[in-house]
Chain A
Amino acid sequence: MSTVLDVREVAKTYAPPPTWLRPLIRVAAKEPVRALHPVSLKVDRGEVVGLVGPNGAGKTTLLKVVAGLLEPTSGGVLIDGVDIAHKPVAARRRLGLVLEGDLGIYDRMTGRENLEFFGIMAGMSRSDAARRADELLEDFGLGERDKLAFGYSAGMRMRLSVARALMADPALVVLDEPTRSLDPVAADFVCGLLRQLADQGRAVLLSNHRLDEVVTISDRVVALVGGRVRFAGTPDELSDSDGGRDAAQAIVRLLRMEETAS
């Protein structure tokens, strides 16, 4: 299997802005905050990798570094062999992004208009974007093409967000908490969808607090605590490491132990 995402020793420290910029920039901490110690991971084609960890573990930071929205303090990210720091446009062409649940949708536009718009922003022609939008709306059960997005349920918005990420047919899909605020049925639908994306040959990297979902759809699980990788392996390996217990419970035990130790 070929590697689509290669995260190489990525570290991130949120340094306070330079003194002359401090009146302008509001930051939470006045001292440097180390969010990620050097972290390495790979996601292969056809694979779902689930990031788990407590709040503040560095999951979103890692996803944003992968998406090129945050500059790492050191290390690098290759998407389909393209270094995002050196060739950001070429790297972004291979990336689909879903941030913080269903953020990033224009409420006053229909689902179709949203998809078409982001398709064109990703470099597609208008006719290709329209065709692809129709395909995805059909596949994702969003048949009411002329309904404004503000009339969508949380589940529909999430499906639309995933569809948006797939407009340019990226090799890698990155999702930050894709099932947050979804009811169990909608969450199950989205999980099935993500598994399907991997089965179609894409690489999927997601973060999620719902551990049962992570172990169900992920081929590998990466547990982050305090910006460090504390476990990386298959759900079965995770289960074995905890005496054959349920993998989701094994994660909870692992995270508890790490929190106690720190």
Chain B
Amino acid sequence: MSAVTATTRRVAALARRDARVELSYHFQLLLRLVNILLSVLTFFFLGRLVGDAAPLARYDGGYFSFALIGLVMTGLAYTCISSFSRSVAQAQSDGTFEILLSTTTPLGTLMAGTLVVPFVMSVFDAVIYLGVGWALTGGELPLLSLLTAIPLVVLTLGTFCAVGLLSAAVIVLSKRGDPLAGMTLQVGNLLAGALFPVALLPEPVQVLSRAIPAYYGLNGIRDVVLAGAGLGDVVHEMAVLAGFNVVLLPASLWVLKRAIAVARVTGTLGNR
């Protein structure tokens, strides 16, 4: 049996487990849908108020389309940031964490498998966000150009996964609290331009924005989807994001492994 087959089988088993649990909470799924509708409608009417403000001139579709991209990416990013730590916390709580670590499944595989179902659900959310947005704009939202932006989306989410692994490391050690997830999203909202153009920020603060991977992701995605750019026009953004991924992903997995090693020494691995 090849390593790839074994990994795929384990990831699929973890996904089946999570799907089984998630789908058993029907009411939660319904609330999720209602939340999306309310959120899209709020930004639709906010878009009417803002109109085509000057900083949005380079994008088609006005503020609503601009914010919709931010909303979709924020949802996907939140999943990447929070799924690992939520899964670790849940496993510590139901007593499966130590049992899973005593199996032959590598930590990286456990984490990858943990992401599948939340991510698929987030993609469904994104489809609903965009579908409702498309309907509200009378079909003007260029949905097909989103397919071109997929490499940028993947690279952007990779950097959020790295933050998610760091967040899981914090949970392994502290058991409670997930400071990185909330903080990363807030920083993203403020500095990366999730809901308003970074150009509105004071110049010195804009320098800080350029240190955040999400800034490049959102810029590139909006350029492709709302400004008619091709992938060739966003090579710089993709290169910067790839660089962040190459450094952050292995580093964050290493930190998580170290956190587990520390918990093995202090005897706090399975504590709740």
Would B94 and A103 count as touching, CB distance under 8 A?
yes
- Is B257 part of the binding interface, using a Cβ–Cβ cutoff of 8 Å? no
Would B103 and A121 count as touching, CB distance under 8 A?
yes
Chain A interface helix/strand/loop/mixed: loop
Interface size on B, residues (CB 8 A): 36
Contact with B along A148-179 (1 / 0, CB 8 A): 00000000000000001000000000000000
- Is A252 part of the binding interface, using a Cβ–Cβ cutoff of 8 Å? no
- In Å, the complex CA distance between A107 and B265 comes to 30
Neighbour of B268 across the interface among A26, A99, A122, A125, CB < 8 A: A26
- Is A1 part of the binding interface, using a Cβ–Cβ cutoff of 8 Å? no
The size bracket of the interface on A is: 35 or more
- Is A39 part of the binding interface, using a Cβ–Cβ cutoff of 8 Å? no
A-B contact count (CB 8 A): 113
List of B residues within 8 angstroms of A104 by Cβ: 94-96, 98-99
Neighbour of B10 across the interface among A99, A109, A121, CB < 8 A: A121
Contact with B along A59-90 (1 / 0, CB 8 A): 00100100111110000000000000000010
- In Å, the complex CA distance between A103 and B175 comes to 18
**Could you list 21 A-B pairs, sorted by A, with CB under 8 Å?**
A17-B266, A24-B173, A25-B266, A27-B267, A64-B98, A68-B102, A70-B269, A71-B265, A97-B98, A97-B102, A99-B98, A100-B95, A103-B94, A104-B98, A107-B94, A108-B24, A116-B13, A118-B103, A120-B13, A121-B103, A123-B6
Q: Pick the 4 closest A-B CB pairs, nearest first.
A: A103-B95, A104-B99, A120-B13, A121-B103
Given contacts A24-B170, A25-B174, A103-B95, 12 further A-B contacts (CB under 8 A): A14-B267, A17-B266, A25-B173, A26-B175, A67-B102, A69-B270, A70-B269, A92-B103, A104-B95, A104-B98, A113-B17, A118-B103
Task: Give residues in A with beta carbon < 8 Å to B.
Answer: 14-17, 21, 24-27, 35, 61, 64, 67-71, 89, 92-93, 95, 97, 99-100, 103-109, 113, 116-118, 120-123, 125-126, 164
